[in-house]
Amino acid sequence: MVAGPPELSFILVNYFSEALTRRCVEAIRRRTRELSYEILVVDNHSGLELSCMSSGEADMRVIASERNLGYGAACHRAAQEARGKYLFFINNDTELLNDAAAILCRYLESHPEVALAGPQLLDAQGRSVCSFDYFPSFASKMFGIQFIKFFKPRDFPLKDGSVKIPTVVDLVSGACLFIRAAVYRAMGGFDPQFFLYCEEEDLALRLRQRNLKVCFLPEAKVMHVGGGSSKDKAALKKEFYISFFKFYRKHYGALRTKIIALVCLNQFIWRYFFGKEKELWGPLIRWSLRGAPESESLRYAPGNIDGYPGCNVNG
């Protein structure tokens, strides 16, 4: 590390996944060569002793949270202490495969109109996986992406790994978000109402509203294992839709959210009767019929906290 503030702050969240966190940190140290950096790890009250990870390591700090803040709020807590010009929010179930941070940094340095960027994600077998997505607009949810794409194909680059050049996209995967620290702070950071999921959609949409761009850079490569911190698929699927409906209410209004909730219920029923994993869709149907209550969010599980008061979102 060089004297003075680092160029980059890596930010990770640990939640009962210390082995993954260790591997992620090791890969950061092994691959990141061109930039000065620091690593901030937030332990989201998982009861693990991580201080030994940073013992004697000047590049790393561990922030122990007394509560499980959720993903976005935990990231924001670390961002408040970060000293880097850039912030690299990276899931702990990822591993850098090249000097992705330097590639992302160089691009943003030469493209001031780009505020946020993400790398190409690959699975453990080296196959490309979805690394960016389209905004879940009301029209796309009602009529389908293929119908909307027919009219504006250039707005919908293929997500199959065939994109090989830097490309402006709606949003990049929340597994790896590389953003200018000044922009992140000016935006107010992640919105704490999203306990898990949809924080990247919300941040990207707020960036677009300020005429700032999001870019996918396939030259930067990161392996993403996925599902590192929880195995309860039904609870996580419910949590996704809780955040999804919050995202809709925030950006598209209450009426459209109610319509989308009915569309989703119809999809749950269809998948229950004609698809697989009845144990997954059954709970979603019952939850929807109860009015999709937010009170069943993982946010309210014992040991967690309802948001994080340090966040101030300027949407």
* pLDDT by residue, tens only, the chain of 315 residues: 446 899 999 999 998 888 999 999 999 999 999 999 999 999 988 766 655 555 556 689 999 888 889 999 999 999 999 999 999 999 999 999 999 999 999 999 999 999 999 999 999 999 999 999 999 888 888 877 887 877 787 888 988 889 999 999 999 999 999 999 999 999 999 999 999 999 999 999 999 999 999 999 999 999 998 755 456 788 999 999 999 999 999 999 999 999 999 999 999 999 999 998 889 999 999 999 999 999 999 998 876 655 444 344 444
Looking at residue 137, what is its pLDDT? 84
> Which of 224, 247, 266 is the C-terminal boundary of a domain?
224
The answer to whether residues 240 and 190 belong to one domain is no
The residues, any chain, with a CB within 8 Å of residue 230's CB and separated by 6 or more, are 15, 236
- Tell whether 40 is covered by a domain: yes
pTM of the full structure: 0.90
Per this entry, what is the length of the chain?
315
What's the number of domains the chain is made of? 2
Instruction: Please indicate, yes or no, whether residues 208 and 268 belong to a single structural domain of this protein.
Output: no
270 falls within a domain: yes
Residues 220, 133 share a domain? yes
Domain around 34: 8-224
What whole-number distance in Å separates Cα of residue 294 and Cα of residue 206? 23
Does one domain contain both 139 and 156?
yes
In terms of domains, do 213 and 79 share one? yes
- Per-residue pLDDT, 307: 43
d(CA 153, CA 270) in angstroms, rounded, equals: 29
